[in-house]
Amino acid sequence: MSILSEEHLAFRDMARRFVEAEMPKDWARALEKDEHNYPFTLWDKFTQAGFHGLGIDEKYGGQGGDILMQMLLARELARTLGGLSWIWGITSFAGVKSIGLYGTEEQKDRFLPEIAAGRLRAAIAFTEPSGGTDLLGGLRTTATKVDGGWRISGEKIWSSSAHVADYLLLLARSDKNAARPQQGLTLFWIPTKSDGLTITPLAKLGMRSMGSCSVHLDDVFVPDDLVLGEPHKAWYTLLPTLNNERLMVSAFCLGILDGVLEDALDYAKERKAFGKPIGQMQAIQHMIADIRIGQYQVETMLMDCATKMTTGQPAVIETTMLKVAASDIANRAADAGIQILGGMGYSAETDMQRYWRDSRLWRIGPITNEMARNSIAEQLGLPRSF
């Protein structure tokens, strides 16, 4: 952690104190039990702390801060919130990273102050029912140019928090005659109150109260001033942003590792069986040691990738490797945590089951670990497997 500046350390310590005081694990656990009510109180706490403004330039009402600072916050949030930390992350990715990187000056002036002040929520609408990991090959949502804007029709799925969002960051095929799947795509910033747009919540295993939704678009009109970046070239614009998403997911996984290790250690010291603390048993010690080893591995990789990206290095293969390792290690650690706690680990009255359910998703999204491994192998010179 020696690479952290005094500013980074001060921010990390402030975030840790705020999370501990305002977002403790038992409070997060209570929020997560109610999957039908979005936790607006949690969103408001992010606003109170100024977290929505992180990464937004001060001239737009933000707090400033670099990629490394954003990863430090993601880690601190996930230690207690688990997957609910994505409530901050979605708008940070969809709004701050997208509009902040390739929005026009007019779009930045219009939307970034609203995001920084916590008055605007965004959701991501990329995945489609027939596509899944095959985002480009399965993309069926179409955007047709009309006078003054575009008409969009199609369906998206697993759009987290879309039911309470003000805008959707949506990817659509705008040129049906494009030579390659990654060509002819356009990125839109769509108001959720648009005519012809229907959002339906979906039941799921984890991250329950955040909500995930299907989005149906029936000839939805989007004006030209809500196109992000250059029409038909969205994929090339998105690539650096998607790389940042993998970094953020890995930081969330590291935060979950922090929480798992804390809870496993506390329980191993307090719980007695056969006349002694279970932490005295070698099998338990080995499981806890493995969690700590995994935590160190992910922390080291994350800091290296965040430093590379902060200094302008692309780090594409590194962040892909990080995402695979972080999600695999975090989910395996949470599973071991359940084993250490035994029946209490399976109980909704503790956090291990919540850490396991939330980290399980990150082995699937934003890219499956299998597809990520394919990409790593291809970048090493092996033939394309898909």
Taking all residues of the chain, what is their mean pLDDT, rounded to a whole number? Answer: 94
Q: Given the structure tokens 């071991």, which residue do they identify?
A: 336
pLDDT at residue number 1? 42
Q: What is the pLDDT of residues 148-197, one digit of tens each?
A: 999 999 999 999 999 999 999 999 999 999 999 999 999 999 999 999 99
How many Å apart are CA 55 and CA 303, to the nearest integer?
A: 18
Tell me the C-alpha to C-alpha distance, in Å, between residue 211 and each of 158, 199, 200, 379. Answer: 9, 11, 10, 35
DSSP assignment string, 300-351: HHHHHHHHHHHTT---HHHHHHHHHHHHHHHHHHHHHHHHHHTHHHHSTTSS
Count of beta carbons in the 10 Å neighbourhood of residue 130:
12
Q: Which CATH number fits domain 235-379: 1.20.140.10, 2.60.120.890, 3.40.50.740, 3.40.50.300?
A: 1.20.140.10
d(C-alpha 168, C-alpha 190), whole Å: 5
Question: Angle at the Cα of 197 (from 192 to 202), degrees rounded to 5?
Answer: 85
Torsion sign across C-alpha atoms 114, 115, 119, 125: positive
Name the β-bridge partners of 276. Answer: 273
Domain ranges in the chain are: 6-121, 123-232, 235-379
Residue 175 phi/psi, 5° resolution? -135, 100
Tell me the per-residue pLDDT of 36-55, one tens digit each, with 9 for 90 and over: 899 999 999 999 999 999 99
The structural architecture, per CATH, of the domain 6-121 is: Orthogonal Bundle (1.10)
Please identify every stretch of the chain with a pLDDT value under 50, giving residue numbers as ranges.
Answer: 1
User: What pLDDT does 136 receive?
Assistant: 85
How many CB atoms are closer than 10 A to CB 369?
A: 17
What pLDDT score was predicted for residue 215? 98
Q: Write b or e for each residue in 179-211: b if 16 or more Cβ atoms lie within 10 A of its Cβ, otherwise e.
A: eeebbbbbbbbbebeeeebebebeeeebbbbbb
Q: Is 3 exposed, middle or buried (0-12, 13-18, 19+ CB in 10 A)?
A: exposed
Question: For residues 96 and 55, is the Cβ–Cβ distance under 8 A?
Answer: yes
Nearest by Cα to 71 from 169, 4, 17, 2: 4
What φ, ψ does residue 194 adopt, rounded to 5°?
-65, 145
Which pLDDT does position 138 carry in this prediction? 86
CA-based nearest residue to 238, from 188, 197, 306: 188
The greatest distance separating any two alpha carbons of the chain, rounded to the nearest whole angstrom, comes to 78
> Smallest Cα–Cα separation from 73: which of 12, 118, 17?
12
- 123-232 belongs to CATH 3.20.20.70: no
User: Are 42 and 85 in contact, with CB atoms under 8 Å apart?
Assistant: no
